[in-house]
Amino acid sequence: MGEESDAGGAGETAEESGTERPSLANQRGVESVYQPAEDSDLLARTARERVEAGDTVLDVGTGSGYVAATLADAGARAVGVDVSPLACQEAAENGVPVVRGDLVEPFRADAFDLVAFNPPYLPTPSEQEWDDWMEHALSGGDDGRRLVDPFLETVERVLAPAGEALMLVSSLTDPEAVREYASEHGLASEQLASEKHPYEALVVLRFYRD
């Protein structure tokens, strides 16, 4: 998800050097909007296998709109949502209908046959947080579940009666603990897909009404 580089001179903070703190995107040499990577691709491929033409689907934290566009290509009526205005702009430029908002809050009840979410899941100590849009796209807080838990608390409201939610999590985020939390909030779950990578395993979990 990008690499960190040193800011300013060696051992010198932005404040000490008299410069403004560089954005996380500049710091890591990446875009200001999260671009598709292995996690996005795994979620998109798994979700595409589960949608049918005419399904209404939501891509939470849509970023560039990659997952939503993949599902639209499969015949679904796809919309994205993101808190970042930069992400909303890029998704719209990529042809994805997009709403700026927090998780599923902007949408009516029972609206979606499938909700997909690739949350920020990198465990990040608070003292290492960067207050910019790329940080919001990458950092999962101390336990990697900064947005995972709120999503599980709220997603059931927007699911159609037979709807389901698919979420990408990492072994760094403890998938079993995520599933236990979902169960506490009335959601059954199963693992649909997984891939091993050098520093983690990526897992797609399915959630549905218990």
pLDDT, averaged in runs of 10, over the chain (210 residues): 31 38 42 69 96 97 94 98 91 96 96 95 56 54 76 97 95 91 97 90 94
**The predicted structure's pLDDT at residue 16:** 37
pLDDT at 21: 42
Q: Which pLDDT does position 144 carry in this prediction?
A: 64
pTM of the predicted model as reported, rounded to 2 decimal places: 0.77
Cβ within 8 Å of residue 26, ≥6 positions away? none
**Helix, strand, coil share (%) of the chain residues, nearest 5:** 35, 25, 40
pLDDT at residue 1, as a whole number:
42
Kindly write down the DSSP assignment for every residue of 88-127, as one continuous string: HHHHHHTT--EEESSTTTTS-TT-EEEEEE----B---GG
Q: What is the pLDDT of residue 97?
A: 97
CA distance 67 to 201: 20
- pLDDT, residue 8, reads 30
Q: Are strands 200-209 and 187-197 parallel, antiparallel or unpaired?
A: antiparallel
The three-class DSSP label of residue 159 is strand
**What is the rounded distance in angstroms from the CA atom of residue 22 to the CA atom of residue 30?**
12
| 121-180 pLDDT, tens digit each | 665 555 555 555 455 555 555 666 778 999 999 999 999 999 999 999 988 888 999 999
CB distance 79 to 127 below 8 Å: no
Instruction: Calculate the average pLDDT of the chain.
Output: 81
pLDDT of residue 176: 95
116: left (phi over 0), alpha (psi -120 to 50) or beta: beta
Beta strands in the chain (DSSP E): 56-60, 77-82, 98-100, 112-117, 159-170, 187-197, 200-209
pLDDT of residue 170: 87
Closest CA to 158 of 187, 193, 179, 135: 187
Give the whole-angstrom CA distance, residue 90 versus residue 66.
10
Q: How far apart are CA 76 and CA 78, in angstroms?
A: 6
Tell me how long the chain is: 210
